[in-house]
A and B are shown apart, each in its own frame.
Chain A
Amino acid sequence: MAITYAVLLFLIFYSFQPTLSLYEDQVGLTDWHQQYIGKVKQAVFHTHKTGRKRVVVSTEDNVIATLDLRHGEIFWRHVLGHNDVVDGIDIALGKYVITLSSEGRILRAWNLPDGQMVWESSLHGPKHSKSLLLMTNVIIEKDNVVVIFSNGRLHAVSCIDGEVLWNKDFEAESLEVQKVIQPPGSNFVYVVGFAASSQFEMYQINATNGELLKHESEAFSGRFSGEVSLVSSETLVALDSTGLILLRISFHEGKISIQQTPISDLVEDSPGPAVIIPSSIMGLFTIKINAVTIFIRVIGKGKLEVVEKANHETAVGDALSLSEGQQAFALVQHAGRDIHLTVKLAHDWGGDLLKESIKMDQQRGLVHKVFINNYVRTDGSYGFRALIVMEDHSLLLLQQGTIVWSREDGLASIIDVTTSELPVERAGVSVAKVELNLFEWLKGHMLKLKGTLMLATPEDIAAIQYMRLKSSEKSKMTRDHNGFRKLLIALTRAGKLFALHTGDGRIVWSRLLQSLHKSEACQHPIGLNLSPWQVPHHHALDENPSVLVVGRCGPSSDALGILSFIDSYTGKELSSSRLVHSVAQVIPLPYTDSTEQRLHLLIDADKHAHLYPETPEAISIFRREFSNIYWYSVEDENGIIKGYALKSKCNGNVDDKFCFDARELWSIVLPSESEKIIATVTRKMNEAVHTQAKLIAADQDVMYKYVSRNLLFVATVAPKASGEIGSVTPEESWLVVYLIDTVTGCVLHRMTHHGSQGPVEAVFSENWVVYHYFNLRAHRYEMSVIEIYDQSRADNKDVWKLVVGKHNLTSPISSYSRSEVVTKSQSYFFTHSLKAIAVTSTAKGITSKQLLMGTIGDQVLALDKRFLDPRRSVNPTQAEREEGIIPLTDSLPIIPQSYITHNIRVEGLRGIITVAAKLESTTLVFAHGLDLFFTHFAPSRTYDSLTEDFSCALLLITIVALVAAIFVTWLLSQRKELQDKWR
């Protein structure tokens, strides 16, 4: 029997497959990846040719992409550098996408079908200016020409190879070029602009050789304001600087005439100045006075006529040329829950080509942009499709009165992420779509078994893969035992909250926060921070959890704050408030009230602390902990770090009992001529540390980790070296790192890396900090580790002291006790630049840790913390080897199998978030940038659960077969015995 036992045991152990790395067919089991492009700012349709219809877009996140017009999928996508902002895009020769970027300095052509870059040209000019891209139909030596105005110079570039054919400087000091226009059918271009804001300048230039044909200018008594609208190829409409007078500027045949029309003549009760909405629609332009959009028509010789005043929110698209020289343009207006899409002819306001009403999700907000494209229907009439960009950055295609597809591109700009548990599964509430019965279950396992024995047919394999990927288990809307199913709640730049299911990444709910909506009182609301507000446990389990969104009314830190409370399960905005103070810092306190609402302290710009929730109970809890609350602030521009504690109630307003004054406890002033703060990192608030003691096996010794929540890691560099790599020599750059106790302001450790510079990416966990920086001498990236140990507890290792009770292990850890710490440090080379760094976190902190590094190639690499152990030496002793010390190497290894993103790029990676699952071995990893990526990660393999590969059916069948065999052999032996007896 012992053998059977051993075999069973062996069987169970054998089935622990290494899961650190992935087999290719396991992709998609626990991970998901979503691709986004960001808020679209320009779109060009490509639908002329037969074949796949597509739209080329450029976005505010410097992305150029082509999307499938049928489904909205990405054909190809390129993410340009963070300062390579796209100025304009167009399609040339029907096969190239031309992009102008970097303030008009870089012109690139991409192959339309596959996104391969064809050529790249660098354009230079004498001065900074507006960048304009104009696709001409001029042909020089069988070569189409694109005309670019940038940096005060007009360039003509060949579409085929990007060669600059000619260029012309516009040297005049104050000239601000507004438009480059090519009248249809001509081979010259007009370059028009304002000089010194009060003179209109017109240059007529031969597009084939850059020769100046004509130059005219006309002075204007007032001043011009920025934008212009083109109403014909030789007429512009502008506003004067007061915004009260419309200027119609005509430069027909080189003769400039400026005609002034006060807006009050056109619109009777015009309150306040107008702004022009730049467009180029023949004979029509749009102005906006406050919230009212006014369409004005230009008739014949300088007569202006108001055709419509729209009080609703309106978006106007650019003109689209129809075949007969007619122009159409689109108009989107909001009316309650619906939007009205109208396509009108430019010369005929009354005749609508298209009028559709579409029901729109209220959570998408207003329409910001509209782009239209036409197609010819079977009956010869025009059909239109419209691409609209919404307030929440989503992109929708409308055709024939319905939404054909939509993309949630708001998710490309996540500001902050938190997680929430799902509801507990209760009796009577079946959430899973299909509960599997036993037969189905067994059938599934049989299929799997076939798969493992390599007997499966291709159809079977497909069925297995489908079954694994579409497991209803992982996308249920209830909590699971392992804690894998959670809601990821993400706040985006557009002020929208999304809840994503960790199982399959689908959007459970989304909500455009009304409190972060632009309004009179709050012009530029931005979201700052997202934190769990109420996490119900035992007695409050009936209540839904909620999250707190903190925002403010503008980019500066003294703008007034906004609070909003959102139900995590439904996305309903429970309440919101506009604060009377600013928000500089949000500090979640480790205390909750009786309804399990977490106490939060909001620090304003004047260093007052405001307590939330504003309840008497919160105050009473707060009073008990009054002397235990400390915080710090980092002023990186002045190089000052300050520590604060609470003093008393606010002096100024007597009635506000939730406001407290702060007293400054300490401050560290760094010398501004030699040090500039570039990075600060603290430990995660909710990190679990399993043990404080670390056993050093080599000399049978115990070291005590200095585990303190109040440690701050600060990295500073020489001010000269704060720029890019290559701007300084090693001699004039240094990197200084500090470990500071934020309660006392005591510097526990300081270290200088000479000849090094930033950027610094750092992560703090338990008693160690790992940071990444650039070593200029070796010209390689380096990673260093600092581990900090508590020496004051070092004499506790005597067993007798423990027995007798003469130890100080139970004495509370206080920042004010004399700190005797020792630090150990070591540095290693690392190959790649990093964009982000994080560390795995598990439920109890028992599992060993791995570092997760977002590399410059937008991949996430896992690296065992043991590689960053300061005790690594060239020749570790036998005891050290047994303990798991790796022999010292000068650089950290990059093992391709430990890329947790395998062959996926998380484009534009900005942050990596780790959340502990209930299963101790597993961490949930969420990486976000333009793309989103989520996976389960087991730093020391899944030692506490059977792997997905484990075949229960095989085990069961084996057991059944064994039992059957035993029974059969027993029967046989019985019979044989009987026969023996008869004999």
Chain B
Amino acid sequence: MAPIARLLLLVLLSTALTISSGSGDGYTINGRVKIPQGLGTKGFALPGKMSNIKVILNGGQIVTYLRPDGYFSFQNIPAGTHLVEVAAIGYFFSPVRVDVSARNPGKVQAALTENRKGLSELVLEPLRDEQYYEIREPFSIMNVVKSPMGLMMGFMLLVVFIMPKLVENMDPEEMKRAQEEMRNQGVPSLASLLPGGGRN
């Protein structure tokens, strides 16, 4: 019955977020990934499904998945300093350094490598959510005005309404001369509108 008792103990310990000595040939790292509610639900980026979150030890040595409650565990880990990474679409997780000590088993030594923040227990939370797409600006009147078409329209309106005012304030003689010139020129051709034609 001894092995059963030990295994039961192991099951109990796994809920207590500790590093415990497994069955002889290594230690166990237990932890939990927690995604706060509300994060990642805004914007376009769909939050990755919980079932697709991977927890990776030492750059791919062991890959595990999360239980429905977010817990994970790595078994048979030798003593030393390890690196735990969480791969989740839509969230940015900092890798975590986890020290597994042979001298005092059961003690958690974990720290986020990104900001060197120590963790009292191995609960991994995303530092931020990741937005993979640019967000399209919603429709607004300012955008239309600022767009090239809007500016063009503005310019045309300017010409239509302000120019006659300017013409009114003109010297009658000068006006006459201008009209004379206009008559000589005739119909403005399309060619003269184009940049090439405009220069000559």
Residues in chain A within 8 A of chain B (CB atoms): 1-5, 7-8, 10-11, 14-15, 18, 21-25, 27, 76, 78-84, 105-106, 108, 111, 114-120, 122, 124, 163-164, 166-167, 453-454, 724-727, 759, 774, 776, 778-781, 831-833, 835, 855-859, 891, 894, 896-897, 899, 902-903, 905, 954, 958, 962-963, 965-966, 970, 977
Q: Is the CB of A3 within 8 A of B155?
A: yes
Q: Is the CB of A779 within 8 A of B193?
A: no
Measured CB to CB, the closest approach of chain A to B180, in angstroms, equals 12
What is the bound-complex CA distance between A80 and B64, given in angstroms?
7
Q: Is the CB of A22 within 8 A of B83?
A: no
Q: Is the CB of A833 within 8 A of B148?
A: no
Is B120 an interface residue when CB atoms closer than 8 A count as contact? no
What is the bound-complex CA distance between A120 and B30, given in angstroms?
12
Q: Is the CB of A896 within 8 A of B132?
A: yes
The residues of B that contact A15 with a CB separation of less than 8 Å are 148
What is the bound-complex CA distance between A245 and B144, given in angstroms?
88
Given A3-B155, A80-B63, A726-B81, are A23 and B134 neighbors across the interface (CB < 8 Å)?
A: yes
What is the bound-complex CA distance between A977 and B186, given in angstroms?
13
Q: Is the CB of B60 within 8 A of A963?
A: no
The residues of A that contact B85 with a CB separation of less than 8 Å are 832-833, 856-857
Is B171 an interface residue when CB atoms closer than 8 A count as contact? no
Q: Which positions 129-146 of chain B face chain A at CB distance < 8 Å? A: 130-136, 139, 144
Measured CB to CB, the closest approach of chain B to A205, in angstroms, equals 16
Q: Is the CB of B155 within 8 A of A725?
A: no
What is the bound-complex CA distance between A832 and B88, given in angstroms?
12
Given A167-B3, A759-B59, are A114 and B51 neighbors across the interface (CB < 8 Å)?
A: yes
In the complex formed, the residue of B with least CB distance to A11 is B148
Q: Is the CB of B82 within 8 A of A725?
A: yes
The residues of A that contact B89 with a CB separation of less than 8 Å are 857, 859, 903, 905
Is B66 an interface residue when CB atoms closer than 8 A count as contact? yes
The residues of A that contact B198 with a CB separation of less than 8 Å are 1-2, 4-5
Q: Is the CB of B131 within 8 A of A725?
A: no
The residues of A that contact B83 with a CB separation of less than 8 Å are 725-726, 774, 779, 833
The residues of B that contact A166 with a CB separation of less than 8 Å are 4
Q: Which positions 50-90 of chain B face chain A at CB distance < 8 Å? A: 50-52, 54, 56, 58-68, 73, 75-76, 78, 80-83, 85, 87-90
- 25 CB contacts below 8 A, A to B, read A1-B192, A4-B193, A7-B151, A7-B155, A81-B63, A82-B60, A84-B63, A105-B76, A118-B68, A120-B67, A124-B25, A163-B7, A724-B61, A776-B81, A779-B113, A832-B85, A833-B83, A857-B87, A857-B89, A897-B131, A903-B133, A962-B193, A965-B156, A966-B193, A970-B188
How would you classify the secondary structure of chain B's contact residues: helix, strand, loop or mixed? Answer: mixed
Given A724-B61, A903-B90, are A23 and B75 neighbors across the interface (CB < 8 Å)?
A: no
Is B95 an interface residue when CB atoms closer than 8 A count as contact? yes
The residues of B that contact A780 with a CB separation of less than 8 Å are 95, 113
What is the bound-complex CA distance between A690 and B11, given in angstroms?
62
What is the bound-complex CA distance between A778 and B113, given in angstroms?
8
Measured CB to CB, the closest approach of chain A to B138, in angstroms, equals 8
Q: Is the CB of B95 within 8 A of A831?
A: yes
Given A5-B195, A7-B151, A833-B56, are A896 and B131 neighbors across the interface (CB < 8 Å)?
A: yes
Given A164-B4, A725-B59, A831-B114, are A897 and B94 neighbors across the interface (CB < 8 Å)?
A: no
The residues of B that contact A122 with a CB separation of less than 8 Å are 22, 28, 73, 75-76
A14-B147, A856-B56 provided; 9 other pairs, C-beta below 8 A?
A3-B155, A23-B136, A24-B136, A81-B56, A115-B52, A116-B50, A163-B7, A454-B139, A897-B132
Q: Is the CB of B66 within 8 A of A117?
A: yes
What is the bound-complex CA distance between A84 and B130, given in angstroms?
29
Residues in chain B within 8 A of chain A (CB atoms): 3-4, 7, 11, 22-25, 28, 44-46, 48-52, 54, 56, 58-68, 73, 75-76, 78, 80-83, 85, 87-90, 92, 94-95, 97, 100, 113-114, 130-136, 139, 144, 147-149, 151-152, 155-156, 179, 187-188, 190, 192-193, 195, 197-199
In the complex formed, the residue of B with least CB distance to A78 is B65
Q: Is the CB of B81 within 8 A of A832?
A: no
Measured CB to CB, the closest approach of chain B to A576, in angstroms, equals 37
What is the bound-complex CA distance between A780 and B192, given in angstroms?
65
The residues of A that contact B144 with a CB separation of less than 8 Å are 453
Measured CB to CB, the closest approach of chain B to A878, in angstroms, equals 31
Q: Is the CB of A958 within 8 A of B149?
A: yes
The residues of B that contact A105 with a CB separation of less than 8 Å are 75-76
The residues of A that contact B64 with a CB separation of less than 8 Å are 120
In the complex formed, the residue of B with least CB distance to A27 is B133
Most chain B beta carbons < 10 A, residue from A1, A105, A954: A1
What is the bound-complex CA distance between A962 and B153, given in angstroms?
10
Residue from the list B67, B81, B92 in contact with A117, Cβ < 8 A: B67
The residues of B that contact A724 with a CB separation of less than 8 Å are 58-59, 61
What is the bound-complex CA distance between A15 and B149, given in angstroms?
11
Q: Is the CB of A833 within 8 A of B59?
A: yes
In the complex formed, the residue of A with least CB distance to B59 is A833
Residue from the list A7, A115, A774 in contact with B51, Cβ < 8 A: A115
The residues of B that contact A857 with a CB separation of less than 8 Å are 54, 85, 87-89
Q: Is the CB of B195 within 8 A of A1?
A: yes
Q: Is the CB of A831 within 8 A of B94?
A: yes
Measured CB to CB, the closest approach of chain A to B2, in angstroms, equals 11
Residue from the list A2, A10, A899 in contact with B132, Cβ < 8 A: A899
Measured CB to CB, the closest approach of chain A to B116, in angstroms, equals 9
Given A1-B197, A7-B152, A726-B82, are A902 and B132 neighbors across the interface (CB < 8 Å)?
A: yes
The residues of A that contact B75 with a CB separation of less than 8 Å are 105-106, 122
Measured CB to CB, the closest approach of chain A to B170, in angstroms, equals 16
In the complex formed, the residue of B with least CB distance to A967 is B187
Given A81-B62, A966-B193, are A856 and B87 neighbors across the interface (CB < 8 Å)?
A: yes
The residues of A that contact B59 with a CB separation of less than 8 Å are 724-725, 759, 774, 833, 856
Measured CB to CB, the closest approach of chain A to B165, in angstroms, equals 16
What is the bound-complex CA distance between A4 and B113, given in angstroms?
57
What is the bound-complex CA distance between A778 and B97, given in angstroms?
10
In the complex formed, the residue of A with least CB distance to B131 is A896
Q: Is the CB of B151 within 8 A of A22?
A: no
Cβ-closest 10 pairs across A and B: A1-B198, A857-B87, A81-B63, A896-B130, A833-B59, A726-B80, A122-B75, A116-B51, A454-B139, A11-B148
Measured CB to CB, the closest approach of chain A to B11, in angstroms, equals 7
The residues of A that contact B148 with a CB separation of less than 8 Å are 7, 10-11, 14-15
The residues of B that contact A25 with a CB separation of less than 8 Å are 136
Q: Is the CB of B67 within 8 A of A119?
A: yes
What is the bound-complex CA distance between A44 and B63, given in angstroms?
24
What is the bound-complex CA distance between A480 and B65, given in angstroms?
45
The residues of B that contact A84 with a CB separation of less than 8 Å are 62-63
The residues of A that contact B190 with a CB separation of less than 8 Å are 963
What is the bound-complex CA distance between A157 and B45, given in angstroms?
40
What is the bound-complex CA distance between A905 and B179, given in angstroms?
70
What is the bound-complex CA distance between A4 and B148, given in angstroms?
12
What is the bound-complex CA distance between A297 and B188, given in angstroms?
101
